[in-house]
């Protein structure tokens, strides 16, 4: 924890983005040019897309399920799991990622603010449930076994409110350090956490191979791949 400079009673809030899973082979949003099969991701990951073409939306998330299942956690996911073992409750891990690589890398408590790839929910009952299936044609689209309404991915789409924002803001307020890893700083509210941290007097650190859009708001930037930089935080 030398690089982080975390004292005995200090508390760490970690925000991760697509960059932490890049070295596991999962394409980042920006790395793919924001495109999937000729569609802009912002056109597929929206309530409007769901209303007009649920089959297209499910094909997109089925592909992402396949990709995530084929991927393995990397040294950066594992380093954060080791940090959790060391810090226990003094660490809060919040990810924008919908993959399960933090969990498979050993993290016990992860908040997925943009939802989870391996959960779905009925649009009427709203209760998320575990789901690893692929729905890739109109005949296969899932419906709720209880009420018969459509089942959608348990994902926070553009224009929807991220999950448990109250918990996020209170954990941010209770922390002394904010570590942000592999996110371009372009999608709010996550991109604004660093400003909130600054107002609260937290020490703010960014890790990634290039500066994020909100780079000027950070106290310290470690330019480099997550797998190279994060393990050094454990020394």
Tell me which residues touch ligand APR (CB under 6 A).
17-20, 22-23, 28-30, 41, 96, 114, 182-184, 186-187, 208-210, 212, 225-226
CB of 130 to ligand APR, least distance (A): 21
Q: Which two tokens stand for residue 27?
A: 């394409």
Contact 6, 13 (CB under 8 A): no
Residue 114 is a catalytic residue: yes
The residue with its CB nearest to ligand APR is 19
Q: Which is nearer to ligand APR, 90 or 162 (CB)?
A: 162
Q: Which is nearer to ligand APR, 72 or 147 (CB)?
A: 72
Q: Which residues contact 100 (CB under 8 A, 6 or more apart)?
A: 68, 116, 117, 118
> If you compute the radius of gyration of the chain from its CA atoms, what whole number of angstroms results?
18
| Catalytically annotated residue among 77, 102, 114, 154 | 114
Q: Which is nearer to ligand APR, 172 or 226 (CB)?
A: 226
Contact 190, 139 (CB under 8 A): no
CB of 128 to ligand APR, least distance (A): 17
CB of 64 to ligand APR, least distance (A): 11
The per-residue DSSP string of 178-219 comes to EEEES--S-STTGGGHHHHHHHTT-EEEEEESS--TTGGG-S
Q: Which is nearer to ligand APR, 172 or 181 (CB)?
A: 181
CB of 184 to ligand APR, least distance (A): 3
Q: How far is the CA of 59 from the CAs of 66, 122, 159, 196, in angstroms?
A: 11, 17, 20, 37
Residue positions annotated with a catalytic role: 114
């Amino acid at each position: 924890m030398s690089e982080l400079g975390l004292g005995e009673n200090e508390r760490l809030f970690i925000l991760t983005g697509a960059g932490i899973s890049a070295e596991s082979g999962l394409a980042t949003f920006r790395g793919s040019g924001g495109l999937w099969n000729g569609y802009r991701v912002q056109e597929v990951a929206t309530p409007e897309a769901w209303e007009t073409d649920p089959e297209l939306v499910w094909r997109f998330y089925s592909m992402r399920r396949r990709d995530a299942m084929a991927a393995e956690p990397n040294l950066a996911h594992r380093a954060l799991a080791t940090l959790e073992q060391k810090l226990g409750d003094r660490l809060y891990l919040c990810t924008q990622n919908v993959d399960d690589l933090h969990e498979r890398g050993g993290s016990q408590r992860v908040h997925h603010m943009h939802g989870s790839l391996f959960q779905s929910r009925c649009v009427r009952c709203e209760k998320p449930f575990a789901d690893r299936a692929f729905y890739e044609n109109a005949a296969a689209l899932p419906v709720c076994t209880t009420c018969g309404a459509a089942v959608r991915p348990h994902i926070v789409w553009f224009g929807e409110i991220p999950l448990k924002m109250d918990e996020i803001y209170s954990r941010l307020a209770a922390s002394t350090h904010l570590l942000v890893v592999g996110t371009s700083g372009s999608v709010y509210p996550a991109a604004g956490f660093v400003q909130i941290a600054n107002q609260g007097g937290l020490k703010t650190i960014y890790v990634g191979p290039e500066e994020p859009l909100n780079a000027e708001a950070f106290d310290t930037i470690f330019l480099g791949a997550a797998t190279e930089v994060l393990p050094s935080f454990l020394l």
